[in-house]
Structure 1
Amino acid sequence: MNTTIKRSALALTISGLCLGAATGYASSHREAPFITETPKLDGTDFYMFRSYETGREDYVTLIANYLPLQDAYGGPNYFDLDDDAIYEIHIENSGDAQEDITFRFQFTDNLNDIQLPVGDDGAKQMVSVPLKNIGDATADANVQLSQQYTVTVIRGDRRTGTEQTVTNVTTGTETFDKPLDNIGAKSFGDYASYANAHIFDMAIPGCATNGKVFVGQRKEAFAVNLGEIFDLVNTNPVGPRDGEGAGDLADKNVTSFALEVPTSCLTGTAETSAGDPVLGGWTTASVRQARIINPAPAANGKGATVEGGAYTQVSRLGMPLVNEVVIGLKDKDRFNASEPADDGQFATYVTHPTLPELLEVLFGVTAPNNFPRTDLVTAFLTGIDGVNQPVGVTASEMLRLNPAIPATTAASQSDLGVLGGDNAGFPNGRRPVDDTVDIALRVAMGVLVYTDGSAGSDAPDGNLGYTDGVQLDPAELSEAFPYLATPIAGSPNS
């Protein structure tokens, strides 16, 4: 049944509830019904930017975050990734909405059954311990369960293209170690140094220069006012940008897949009208089509499920907030299973968005009335002409980056990105510092309709400083790869 919501007192309550449902959890945290059942596969944020670490300006950094809302004290198992899944970062460099390069990550669990002698002499039993480690967690012998991963680069279609394995330059092997999560100060005397030892140089087949890779736990960098948003948007959307403090994710961790790749290894035929290269990017997670629960799992920690069939995509993330505040609830699972080339099926959500109408009902601001919303098509589906829009682009949802635009040093970055006069930031790619909630709110309410700064009939309130009242402190970020900060320790927990 289709229902038209009247702008009345009743609509005020209903639309508030709808906005809470549409907003999901942060950039892409638990944003669709099905993905809430599989948090290890939940892609939460995707970053793509020209590296701004000194001396690394000829590289592009790609960061895909998964497994949201991690409490630092979440033991005893903490937050390993799914060894039956594949996690992928896709690059599109031809403007046709089809991936041209894919980096695929696959994980292996390594169980080192640690047993302790228990009992009196003559009656001792060797008994497996329940914890991940029994001492200094930097020593392999003290660790029960760890993970390793491989990285495969695929050129062409992600399933039928040419596959080549990335090499660990340090070891000469095709495997990389994932650091344990930050259990606490007793297990790790210096977690930052331990984690940094898991930043590896990698040799990418077909690339003349090595890149870097890191997969591991990081401090959550996405700043958002979750509780107030879900409470019928119980905040002032045109108040101070820092009026609500640090945000509800300030005490959470996340798991990051970070790559630093030579720019020349990623660019293709997609170019702006000025001849600058343009990269599109997004991340996905996939699992086997069939999963059967084993009623008698093996004693070695494996076998709780039996997996089979083709890999099927269950998570997708490119531009932040699309599946939260743009896609309707009934289509959120469909969006997570879709590919950019098929985004025409979701076009109405962009050309006729509901979020501005809800904000109008809730707060009395005037929603833009320039339908279809071609300004949102530009922001979310094609890129901005003269900045990151390829000539002849196929409209599709993904992050787009013009890597020819010089990187802005960390100290000089504007968290409003292009809206703040910093063309190296969102929506030209996305950096950790970029406040995508505030930017997206302003774009949704029509800031791009303004060309001369004066009010217009299409978006009379489009120049207001919309905000969720939360800002990230740039001091919480690193100025070097992998850019996201050391994760919060599980202990001491204060």
Structure 2
Amino acid sequence: MDFSLKPLVAAALCTASLTAIASSHREAPLIGGSPRVDGTDFYMFRSYEPGRDGFVTLIANYLPLQDSYGGPNYFKLDANALYEIHVDNNGDAAEDLTFQFRFTNTYKNLGVPTGAPGGANVGVPLNNIGPVDAEAANVNVVESYTLSLVRGNRRTGTSAPIVDASSGSATFGKPVDNIGTKSIPDYAAYANGFIRPITIPGCNTPGRVFVGQRREGFVVNLGQVFDLVNLNPLGARNSASNVIDDKNITSLALEVPTSCLTAGDDPVIGAWTTASLRQSRILNPSPTGPVASSAGKGPTVEGGAYTQVSRLGSPLVNEVVIGLQDKDKFNASEPKNDVANFGTYVLYPTLPVLVNVLFQVPPPATPRNDLLAAFVTGITATVNGSPFKFTAPANLTVPGEMLRLNTAVAPTPAASQKDLGFLACDLAGFPNGRRPVDDVVDIALTAVEGAIAENALNLQTCDVSGATPTVKNAGAVVNDGALPDAADYLTVFPYLASPLPGSVSTAAR
């Protein structure tokens, strides 16, 4: 396929540069105090596990910056929250499919004999009282979840449960976080038991689901980026360590047949993830248990309609593009309202102005109508002289910010993937969806310095003007010094690696 899309991809990647300077951690005032519903990264790509190229993988990460040793409670998701992944497949910037996750935390009050009066066991302060396995007999708090598919509006559409294709159960288990090697000697094998085949209503082919702790897959020199871009941007791509390399994350991962996500003959879909909380919360001054039940009263009583508090599509829109005063508004908003609510931030972006102050790189003239088009509509390309909706819906009616994927573009096998995505002429990578290995920071920084437009600095780019996409100026990449390592990712679902353990074996010490 001849992708003659240089000018339009330039606009799209410049837009990406505004939205991807870091992962979406603690990006808004409200969500900074609610990490369990803080969406941090959202991935969407054609599955590249061998034999699974007929599927799309969607991964929504929540609860950022987890230290693996964070016991005794570790990192449970919010049982009062609603976690959702939305898909727009007809170009109206509204959800057509919504996958809803609801969690339950079952407290077992495990105890041990201590000689207490009457011989009663006394409850332990730990998450587990022995080795952990799939039966969870020694686990003090067991997490489970239900999954449903809503067609149409997320609150008023038609909802149906998604069930385990093997057992028929509508309840799925979530593995315990990686406490350490004494509690869970082989965490990878243990967690793999929670990858389940699923029957999706209206879909003839089973998909897969996994929810659980994973190793953080995002790569960024985070502190230096926010310290006035305190970097050597033209240095080696491996000149600095990935500052969040020692963190874990919690992933909600789905693998869905492509035909169950697209509509008609349009291969382009857009998607985003949200988390919502109940409108009201009353604190109980005298809780008698961790949750409200017949045996006691929990620390809170929550009710009312679900209210969206977190939103994430393309990486870092809210953190780097949206003004501080509108960050909570963005987290509560829907894509169909983006142009009216936030169009000014794209037409008159502040990041190029700040880059000019720091590095004396003149910003492009405003208003940036090109950025507005690319930012909210996807990319229209020219293939062999004819228009081609590369990542733009064929029947776009309402623009809106979301991560877009052209499912007609074949996945690149894991061994051949380029972490610079489009800059390395890997057209199955960012900004055509996003894979775990895609270095969105370096792609963005290079693009914002003009690599795909005027390219006065002779930076690396992909020349798509000819019959075959060709890399130019290889190695001249503006970067944060933190380089992804393909060995840190799985090549099979759920693609993000097993989480780091809270402690390692002491047998050899």
Q: Could you state the TM-score of these two structures normalised by the residue count of structure 1? A: 0.89
The match for 2:148 among 144, 148, 152 is 152
Q: Show CA shifts across 1:163-210 (max 9, x none).
A: 000011232110100000000001001000000000000000100000
Q: Give, in whole Å, the separation in 2 of the partners of 1:240 and 1:108.
A: 46
Q: How many residues align?
A: 458
Q: Give, in whole Å, the separation in 2 of the partners of 1:334 and 1:300.
A: 31
The match for 2:271 among 273, 281, 289 is 281
Matched residue, 1:48: 44
Q: Give, in whole Å, the separation in 2 of the partners of 1:27 and 1:414.
A: 20
Q: Show CA shifts across 1:316-337 (max 9, x none).
A: 0000011111111111111000
Q: Show CA shifts across 1:335-384 (max 9, x none).
A: 00000000011111112111111111111223222x22244334432111
Shift of 1:452: 11
* Unaligned 5+ runs, structure 1: 1-21, 272-276, 456-462
* 1:483 equivalenced with 2:473 (yes/no): no
CA spacing shift, 1:448–1:326, aligned 2, 3 Å? farther
Q: Which has the higher contact order (CA 8 A, sep 6+)?
A: 2
Q: Any residues of structure 2 matched to 1:247-326 within 5 Å, and which?
A: 247-269=242-264, 271=266, 277-299=267-289, 301-302=291-292, 303-326=298-321
Matched residue, 2:357: 361
Matched residue, 1:36: 32
SS in 1 for 2:380: coil
Match of 2:81, as an amino acid?
A
Q: Any residues of structure 2 matched to 1:73-472 within 5 Å, and which?
A: 73-119=69-115, 124-138=119-133, 139-245=135-241, 247-269=242-264, 271=266, 277-299=267-289, 301-302=291-292, 303-344=298-339, 345-369=341-365, 371-386=366-381, 387-393=390-396, 394-450=398-454, 465-472=477-484
Q: Give, in whole Å, the separation in 2 of the partners of 1:438 and 1:367.
A: 19
* Unaligned 5+ runs, structure 2: 1-17, 293-297, 382-389, 460-472
Q: Show CA shifts across 1:436-461 (max 9, x none).
A: 11222233344443499989xxxxxx
Shift of 1:311: 0.4
Q: Give, in whole Å, the separation in 2 of the partners of 1:103 and 1:135.
A: 35
1:24 and 1:31 in contact (8 A); partners too: no
CA spacing shift, 1:130–1:23, aligned 2, 3 Å? farther
Q: Give, in whole Å, the separation in 2 of the partners of 1:110 and 1:421.
A: 48
Name the stretch that deviates more: 109-118 or 96-105.
109-118
1:72 and 1:488 in contact (8 A); partners too: yes
2:268 and 2:392 in contact (8 A); partners too: yes
CA spacing shift, 1:325–1:42, aligned 2, 3 Å? same
Q: Could you state the TM-score of these two structures normalised by the residue count of structure 2? A: 0.86
1:319 and 1:380 in contact (8 A); partners too: no
Q: Show CA shifts across 1:106-165 (max 9, x none).
A: 011111121111128x76442001101100111421111011100010000000000000
Q: Give, in whole Å, the separation in 2 of the partners of 1:454 and 1:255.
A: 39
Match of 1:407, as an amino acid?
P
RMSD: 2.1
Shift of 1:395: 2.1
Q: Show CA shifts across 1:23-78 (max 9, x none).
A: 99931111111101110000000000000000000000000000000000000000
Shift of 1:414: 1.2
Among the aligned pairs, what percent are the same residue? 58
1:111 and 1:146 in contact (8 A); partners too: yes
